[in-house]
Amino acid sequence: MSIEKYIIPNNTLDEKSKLLADKVISYILDPEQRETGLSFILNRLYNPKFSEILIQINPRLYTQFLESDDSSSLTTALYIVNALSKKAEYIILFLKYDKRILDSLKGLLNCENELIFKNCLIILDSFIETTKRADLAHQFIPILINDASVFPNNRQSIIAFMTKVLVSPESVSIYLDNDGLSMVKQSLENSQNEELLGAVEIILRIIKYKQDGKTLLFKEGFLKTLTDVIGRTDNQNTLERAINVASQLSSCEFFASSCIDCGLFEECLDLLEYPYVGKSTASTLMPSLLIIFRITQDRVGAKKCSSLKLATKLSKLLLSVKEFQEVMQAMLFGIITNLFSNDQARKEMILTKVDKVVLQINPIELQPKGKALWVVCVKTFNEMKKQTQEIEYTPIDIQRMAEYNSKKTKARQITEEFIQTETSYTNQMGICCRVVMKRLGNVLKENTSIVFGNIIDIEKYHHKFSNELEKCLSLCNEEKLEFITFSDILLKYFTPSMLDLYCQYANNVDIGMAKFNELSRTDVDVGCAVKELSSKGHYVPSFLIQPIQRIPRYVLLLESLLKCLPEYLDETKKIKTCLSKIRSIANEINENKRKFENKTAMDLWNKRIDLSDYPNPQRDYFAEMGQVLVSEKKNATVWTMVIFNDIAVLTRNTAKSTEKEKWKIKEVYALCDWKVLEIINEKIQFFKPSTNTTIEITCNKLKDTEFLSEQLRKAINTAKQNKIKRTSITNS
């Protein structure tokens, strides 16, 4: 395309602006001066006058380099597109004049570079926000689902993006057809805060846009997953959304028994509070009442859920029944009516004075539906009064019995969950070793050990662990013990041997995952084997990530269990010891992995860049950030910043994709000589007092800029402390 063709038709450029546009275009079209041309645009991205010129240039001038083999051109082009996509007029320009831009972004999402992926997602987000066309992103759904397992750190961004895309039956169908349920379940099980809230929102979209969405979610075990979220989240918004979703599943067959088995009933019981306290709000009370109403509609459910705690909660709610909406009044009296089918529940309601509170209610204060069910309750209680001798219990007695029964039930549920999930985990590891590794071993060959690490040793260890736990559960059930005592088995296996196994695996898993993804794309035989396994429900990334998730799960379960065990039990003291041991193991695994990753990064950068002019045998890797825009005077360029404990290096890969990496150093900063000042206009002010030099550094997202600023501050502080130590040693 000639220079003239890069100027869009019907432009309004004056002669001076036309000359400047021609200059930029000619620079970029010349391979020798391309970097100068792209840098020229970079340096003027936020200049209003230049923006008036740039908007009249065909964006293909720079977007074509999103498909470039030259990493430097690609990186710079991506930064430019990212910055411009924040303006609606440029989004319109891109879509009108570059028909390949979505394909270009799609190609970049397939690469392994986490930073490039992150920037592409930001650009796509801008496209959807500006055009209000979520269908533009439909083609990206399968790729993003895959990337969520490959790059767990990006999962939160992917989940947030999906909530903007899944707004139609078509988009939800694409999501489900590409195993989106596995992705959202992984987020629900292993995330917090924004990602967790986003995952719950995706579940709501599935219910809204999938005809049999509720049944599908129920069959896939999401009731248990949502219960775990309700129990562990500290975010009120997430709690309210999660219990709302759970209540929508209450119309599914077998809901009552599943609800009790997974612990949702106990969670709802804790939320039956009015006036509202703690986590209980109007948004949690309504769905909690609905769930308990559905459970008690089932005769077996009514029998299983009856307790002094439930009766006490109902009695307290009845005192404020006139303040409730009609549907809540109806559900409250409906629960009581349902409980009449169980003799034990009848007795508990008499003990907790539910009958007296009901009889004292003025029906004039009730709404029609509530009043109709109140009449049924009054009639039944009057009949019961003639037949039953009243037993007096003090409120303190009732409270003690209620708390004890509730905690005993919950402790058993948590212990059973611990053992059941251990069995499930061991079975999954067995499938990985005997089915997945056997099939892939023929095509991976010497790469098998790289991909799977020591997963066979982990499976053997947990096979023994799981067997002992199952025997313990059977024995406790036979002896009808109130509390399952399994701490001795935990102490037997929470040992340095477990630590060694998981340290070895954690240090290898990222390498293994990267090797697997590479071979899946480049080796036809491996790709075919992966598709064959996937068709049978065996997803390799899912198997590889499970050992990483297991140790933190132990910590969460034991923390929950301790809250339910009476202090006087010997088992409680032992469980505290178990929790201390597994926390220590988890912390040591994380610390060992951090050191290993830092050493790996240090070795990698020693190979990439020559730092022989800056010798330091004690140098340690600190952090790095790609796509960093560095502005000094009138020059602006995009680099990767690598931070060590004594220096910071600006560098970039100048090799083409067909060549080996070739990293070029722009600048090395001795950190002891520099300060990080305030972030102004989303730019880090990197200041050298001795020369009064200020360099402005910025990233594509403010939070990345803030992260880089924090890492620079920490590294500078470390460098200065090390310098003081060296000076002290020299002087002594």
Amino acid identity of residue 75, one-letter, is T
Cβ partners under 8 Å of residue 333, min gap 6: 370, 373, 374, 376, 377
- Structure tokens that stand for 539 in this block: 């997803």
- pLDDT of 152 reads 77
Task: Mark which of 132, 157, 181 sits at the end of a domain.
Answer: 132
pLDDT of residue 109: 87
Record the tokens describing residue 96, joined without a space: 């009108």
51 and 89 co-located in one domain: yes
Q: Which two tokens stand for residue 57?
A: 């240039």
Residues 526 and 615 both lie in one domain: no
State whether 696 and 570 are in the same domain: no
The model carries a pTM of 0.71
Query: Of the candidates 132, 152, 178, which is a domain's last residue?
Result: 132
589 shares its domain with 467:
yes
Measured in whole angstroms, the distance separating CA 547 from the mean position of its chain's CA atoms is 17
pLDDT of residue 391: 52
Which of 119, 125, 51 is closest to 90 using CA atoms? 51
Domain count, the chain: 3
Residue 135: the pLDDT is: 93
CA distance 531 to 513: 16
Looking at 132, 160, 185, which one is the last position of a domain?
132
pLDDT at 732: 64
Residue 305 falls inside a structural domain:
no
Same domain, 30 and 127: yes
653 and 586 within one domain: no
Quick one: pLDDT at residue 455?
Answer: 96
For the chain, list residues with pLDDT below 50.
none
Strands 647-653 and 621-632, how do they pair? Answer: unpaired
User: For residue 302, is it within any domain?
Assistant: no
In a domain, 417, yes or no: yes
Contacts by residues 25-32 (CB-CB < 8 Å, ≥ 24 positions apart): 25/57, 25/61, 28/61, 28/62, 29/3
Name the 3-class secondary structure at 644: strand
Angstrom CA distances, 599 to 160, 444, 500, 620, 633, stand at 33, 27, 18, 8, 36
415 assigned to some structural domain: yes
Establish if 102 belongs to a structural domain.
Answer: yes
Looking up tokens 């508990």 gives 348
Structure tokens at 23: 């200059």
Tell me: do 403 and 523 sit in the same domain.
yes
Residue 3 domain flag: yes
Q: Is residue 254 part of a domain?
A: no
Does any domain span residue 332? no
Write down the pLDDT at residue 224: 92
567 and 587, same structural domain?
A: yes
**CATH code of 454's domain:** 1.20.900.10
Element (H, E) at 404: helix 395-431
Query: Could you tell me where the DSSP H helices lie in 479-569?
Result: 487-493, 496-522, 524-535, 540-562
Give yes or no: residues 551 and 410 share one domain.
Answer: yes
Containing structural domain, residue 536: 397-599
In this prediction, residue 43 carries a pLDDT of 87
- The C-alpha atoms of residue 201 and residue 260 are separated, in whole angstroms, by 24
CATH number of the domain residue 705 falls in: 2.30.29.30
On whether both 575 and 476 belong to a single domain, the answer is: yes
Residues 593 and 642 in one domain: no
CATH of the domain at 7: 1.25.10.10
Contacts of 508 (CB under 8 A, 6+ apart): 450, 453, 454
Residues 472 and 619 in one domain: no
